[in-house]
Every structure is written in C-alpha cells, then in structure tokens.
Chain A
C-alpha cells in the first residue's frame, strides 16, 4: 500500500510549448484530467488541469473574434500551467494514506510521483478510490459484513478468531471508529466462499459485538 503500487506509471504528459488546443485533444483522447508538463528527460516543469485550461472570460473581454482566435492558438501549456514550484509532488515510497492526506490538505486532485526531478508516475483521486475499493475487496464477489465492537484491546482478535475457528479466511478488512461514537469501532470484513447463513450465525455469536450489516456482493 504505497504510492508506487497504486500510481499510474507512464502518465500522459505534455511539453511546455504544446498548444492548449493540442493538449485538450490529448486529454480528451486519453480521458485524463491532469497533464504533468515536462522537458527533456521527463523533468517536471509544471502541471495542467482541465480547470487551468478554461480561460477566464475577463481575459477575452476586450478582444474581437479574430483576436480571440489568435490568442487561443498562440496559447501554450507554459502560459497556463501551475509552475514547478507550486506543484505539490510525492515520492513513490510514501504510504498511500499519507499521499491521500496531502491531497486532502491541499484540496488537489492529483500528485505527480517523482524520482528526483523526473516524473515516474501520477496518482489521482481515482487511484485512491481504487485503493479504497481494493482495501475492502470491493471488486471480488463475497459476503461483506460490518461488525460493531467496543473500542478496546482484543475485540478484533475475537472476530478473527471466530472466523479462523471455522476454517474460513478473511479476504479483506478495514476498521474505522464508529461515526459520532468514540467508544465503538466498526469493522468491515470480506469473506468468500462461505454460506451467508453460517457466517451470520458465527458472527452473531461473538460476545459483546454486534453484526450491523451483511450483504452479498457480486
């Protein structure tokens, strides 16, 4: 669960001298929303997003239609990009949640992943979503159960023990403090190839814990 595992390697990139029109074409063609701007050797010089390419109407207000056309066709990525100093980047060995934190803190949608000043990948919100999905085994069929347990040591062990005693395995799991209730902890587990009724029976028998949701996922 590091950036290097979830980033997109070989991101689509642009040159500083690429025209806005071409960049928009590329972004549409490849359905990406962020374009790191690089020079020779994949050295990062800036970042362009779709918002960045929207020209504020005030810039165009004083121009006539010919001037607008010329203005647009002369506009290149280096005119609109976020400059290198302002681009927030990350290293491949950073833990994924730390990257997520950086993104939430700065309210940004992507982080170019750097090796020195060379772009080796990009990680975006979508990658984070994918990681969240994988964390809870969302893309694999099975039973998803949510168990609410008191916030104290040994409770998770009880849950795992109960599953293990039946010779089953946990495919994926995640835990989070119960919203608005610091004394409890919600744990989501994904179990495969187990009849739902049997699983429910086992989970309901665990002392002090409460099965609050069971659903089959396909």
Chain B
C-alpha cells in the first residue's frame, strides 16, 4: 500500500472526547471516553444502535451540536490542531474548506429553489474565487465523477426533479468540490433503496482512494460497515466499546456487545440456520440511567460478574489496532455461546399444510390510482385519464399457517397490495378471495366477521399507537369491538395478550410516549392479534427498529404465529430479513410479482434477474463473504407509464443472455416459467440459462 509510506499523522484524532447536552433535567452526558483516529484514504465506521451517541460524535467533531450541546472534555485534533475551544468563526472556515458533511436526508443540504448547477458552482465561485464558466466545467466533471447520468442536464434541474439516490450523489459531489481532508457521513444511504444504496456505497469506496479523503462513516447497519469501512468503532450507550479493523471486528469480535450484535443481524448466508436471530436481552439504557463506575453493558451481558458491576473497564488494546472495553475479552469465546433459555422460541417444524386449500387467493389483481392529468382538457372532463398501476396482475395464494414474504424496492407496490387485501384500497379488476369471501370490496362494506379475521401490524412504531390513550385501552378496543371476550373480561384478556408479547400487566396504564420503539411495536402486535385473526399483514414491522430489538420482535412474531396458527404476509424491502421468517417469498417490481416460490428456492439459482440484483445489493455483515457485483442503473420507472413488455427490461442486467440483446423483452410480456410446482419465474430467459448462474452469496 502506497498510502502509509510517510507515516503521516492522522487527519483526525479523538482522545477521551465527552459531549453533554443541557436539558431541563440538568446536563446529560451523551458521549464519553470516545477515542479513535482516522488516516488519509481511510474510512472509519462508527456503528451502534439509536441513542448510543454516534451522531453526537459526528456533530461534535465540528461542534454542530446546537445551542444546548457542548464538548466537556478530551481532545479532538484535526490535522494537528485542537478543535475544542475554537470560535464558531474558525470552525465555520474549517467546515467550509477542509471538513464536509453528508447527511441522511440529501434535501437538508440542498436548496430546493436553486438549480443544482448554481448550487454546485457557488461552492467554487464564492469560496475560491473561480470564474463562473470554469466553475461550471469543474462541477460537471465532478458530477461525472459521482456517476451521475447526463450531468449537463442535471445541472439545470432543481433538487426535487431528481431521485433520492441522485440527490445524495449531488450532495457528495458538492462535498468533494471543496476537496475536503475529512468527510463526515451520517447514515448517507439509510433513506435509499438497497439497489441505489449499493451504487452509492461503491461510489464512496472509489472516492476514498481517488481523493485521499479521510471518512468518518456513521451508520447503524453492520452490513454497510463491512462493505465500505477499513476500521470500525462500536458504540454502546455513549461509549466506544470496541475499536479495530473491519476484519478483526467481524471475524473475532472481542466485546460481548459486539458479539451480540453480530448474532442479531440477518446474515443472508447460504443456509437457513445462519439466519436465526438471537436478540440481546434488555435494552439500551437512557443517558441518565447509565450505570456509573461499572461496565455499561453489564446489565445485558451474559458473562457479567460482580467485578463488571463494581468497576469500570477501560478500553484495552488486545492486539495491535484492536481494543475492547471488557475485563474478560481474552477468556470469552463466542463460539461456545449458547442462547439462554427462552431467548429464541422453539421452532416447530412447519411441514404440513401444503395440501390444504389456500386461505387467501389473488388472481390477476389490479389496483390503479387515478392521476389527474394537468392538461386543460381534463378541466372540462375530456382529458385522458392516467393511472398509476400500483399493483398489476398479481396472482398468489398462501396456505393456512404459512408466511409469505413480499419483497421489493420502494414504489414496487407491496404496500398497495397489502392495503388492497385489507380493504383500504379497492382493486379495479381481478379476483381476491379470503376464506371464500370476496375481498375486493372496501373495508367499510365488509362483514365484521371478515374484518376480525384480517388484521395488520404497521411499520412505524411512533405512529402505530394513538398517543392519547393508554396501552390497555388500545389493545382492549378490538376486543370490545369484535366481542372477542365478554366485556367484564376485557382487562384480563388485555393482560394475557401483553404477556404473549412479553410485556407485563403494568403496561396497561402506560401511554405510548412512555414506551420504547420495540415496546410500541410489541403492543401493535398484541393489538393485531387481539381479535385472533386468521391472516395478519405485517408492513415492514421491524424496519424502523434497532437490530437487537428487531431480532426480538421478529422472534416474537413467529412465536405468536405458531401459537395461534395464523397465516401471515410479511412485507419487507430487504431480502435478508424475510428469509428466516418466510415459507414463501414473492419478489415484486413495479406492481408485478416477478418471482414467487418457497423461500429456499428464491435464494438459490435459478434467479429472476431482478431477484439476483436485489440479492447482490444487500449489504452483508461479513467482510469475507463473496457477493456478486451486480448493480442496477437508473431508477425505477414511473408506474404511471410502465415499460412495455417486461417491466424490468429498462434496467435488466441479464438481457444480453437473449438473442438481439433482449429485443423480445421490450415487446412481449414474459411468460411464467415453472421451476417447480410452487416456484415460478417471470422472464424470457430460458430456465436452463437461469439455472447456470452462480449463487449470489457464498460465504467462506
């Protein structure tokens, strides 16, 4: 490696940094004892669950903490200069010239009323006094550099006219125009779809080498860290508990928390067993509840001893460049770890049910949204009616007691499909039957008996509960409405349901704001299961949760499902989550199901090309895993005017397997090809060709 040749001093060096926020309850130390350094052309990942202080660290570096935040101790050195105690004026100059930030939401950094070209050139003309014309040329070159298609055209557009992935690329280009020595990225890909995320992550990796920039990369996603980072710091409850190279951290994590994290992220490995998730018990303590003079992780640690509760461990170097904050790192062997009783439910074999009549059956279901055309004609009712084909020709069936995972990028119609089944949207055409009832009618016209059997778990824990009522009331409402139990027994039933989701009776009287995200989601699950439905739709129930909580909620859902024998449809954007959970998986693209079949078949060849691309885009938390490098370019076309023939043909990376470069894909709707009884693929490429493909992921 040529970059280390001079023994340069690190670009950024933090030593025992501590940051506090002033609140109404006094100062709260959000972050303490954080030490790490970042070299040129190195990406340092700061990883941790929400509330562990990782963003505070990022903002602390440039003192962007807001009026109530302040750095209370330690040292933060940038290029040898101490940043703590600098005036805002000096820091502002540094931020402009040498340190850039990229946020999760690109619109935070872009001015919606100024063209992208003007925003980019302004960086050069204002700061560096470069002539306008030259600045424009440089900006276009930089846009090319971040792989922006048609940069000259993009320069003329406004931020809202380009997609989220492209916005994020503009923000990165803008950050790089200053040629910063340090780039701080705070969850830059979290809001993006996995296929777009994959492209942006590739870009970040390339840029690091070309610009010799030091990058601090903040994320909660262990998969992303494995893909882009050289070194990693794991944060827990405001402290850095382990620091090391990415290989060392993933291969031999030394802190029990890191080990626990590794066990609770879905792996997308080669076998189904590798996707069992083991949650970490307990939850991250709030800053004011953090144990003093003790190991902060001790209350949740499987190895904790009296010493852990009475003495604070320091960050110790275990091997060169690899440190952990644990007394027993040398003696703990994660390979001998066994889950404590009850951590993971017993999973009964889920054979059987195959011969049974499907509980839900959709045939050629179409749900369109009418779009107001903006022409003058439409004002007088003559305009051509346009339709957003959110769900188009969807056919599927689920046997009772089984789980169907529905996967796809945002805008693929998976949520509309769920809304159609539940009755919040009315299909335009097609058949939909549930338990023999017709469910193409809206929920308001359905029989109470039918409504009772069809319930839903929602995505956002913060809005799934009505903030005005306590938990007991909200779980009790479906019980009362559907007369599940006599009204004098409602309270007992609520307590029983709370127990089923592992919450105790005291939760009855709590208001939603007193609950953590995971707890709210549990209550949401209890509410959905209150009427003992036959089918529960789960719309991304864990995507907003932290990984350790996510695992617990997923296991809980499965356990309840087995107890009640419920059928489930599980909607997710990520193939790694549904794998362990589902018996069947359907992959959707632009309103169509393009591949459907038993879960195991989806993850092995033959793949529909879109499934293959999705699988190869998922960030895998294992730096040694081999993953195919397939990237989709462009964006999902508008469902208002979907491509002719195969809807995926505009982005399909496998078209060249067909004669004429896949001309047929543009002309004809592809046929369903049956790989087995239950596994079918919608593609023009012959099955024999598809079978020849290699598996996307091979782990060593």
Contact = CB atoms under 8 A, between A and B. Distances in A.
Interface in A125-146: 126-127, 130, 134, 139
Name which of B81, B130, B179 has the most chain A CB atoms within 10 A of its CB. B81
A130 B127 CA distance: 34
B128 A116 contact: yes
B230 interface: no
Interface string A143-181: 000000000000000000000000000000000000000
Given A40-B96, A118-B128, A10 B212 contact: yes
Interface in B175-203: 179-181
B11 interface: yes
Given A9-B212, A10-B98, A30-B79, A116 B8 contact: no
A174 B130 CA distance: 41
28 contacts: A8-B8, A9-B40, A9-B181, A9-B211, A10-B40, A10-B213, A12-B9, A12-B80, A25-B80, A26-B80, A30-B8, A30-B9, A30-B79, A31-B7, A31-B9, A38-B97, A40-B96, A40-B97, A41-B96, A41-B97, A41-B127, A42-B97, A42-B98, A42-B179, A116-B130, A117-B129, A120-B179, A139-B5
Interface string A4-27: 000011101100000000100111
Contacts of B97: 38, 40-42
A41 B179 CA distance: 10
Interface of A: 8-10, 12-13, 22, 25-27, 29-32, 38, 40-43, 116-118, 120, 126-127, 130, 134, 139
B505 to A, nearest CB: 59
Name which of A43, A118, A120 has the most chain B CB atoms within 10 A of its CB. A118
B11 A10 contact: yes
B6 interface: yes
A118 B100 CA distance: 17
B44 to A, nearest CB: 15
Interface in B447-496: none
Interface of B: 2, 5-9, 11, 40, 77, 79-81, 93, 96-98, 127-130, 179-181, 211-214
Nearest to A13: B79
Given A8-B6, A31-B9, A126-B6, A41 B79 contact: no
Contact of A40 (B6, B93, B180, B213): B93
Nearest to A40: B93
Contacts of B8: 8, 30
A10 B181 contact: yes
A49 B189 CA distance: 43
A40 B90 CA distance: 10
A26 B79 contact: yes
Contacts of B79: 10, 12-13, 26, 30
A38 B98 CA distance: 12
A92 to B, nearest CB: 11
Given A26-B79, A30-B8, 12 more contacts: A8-B8, A9-B212, A10-B11, A12-B80, A29-B77, A31-B9, A40-B127, A41-B127, A42-B179, A43-B129, A118-B179, A134-B2
Contacts of B127: 40-41
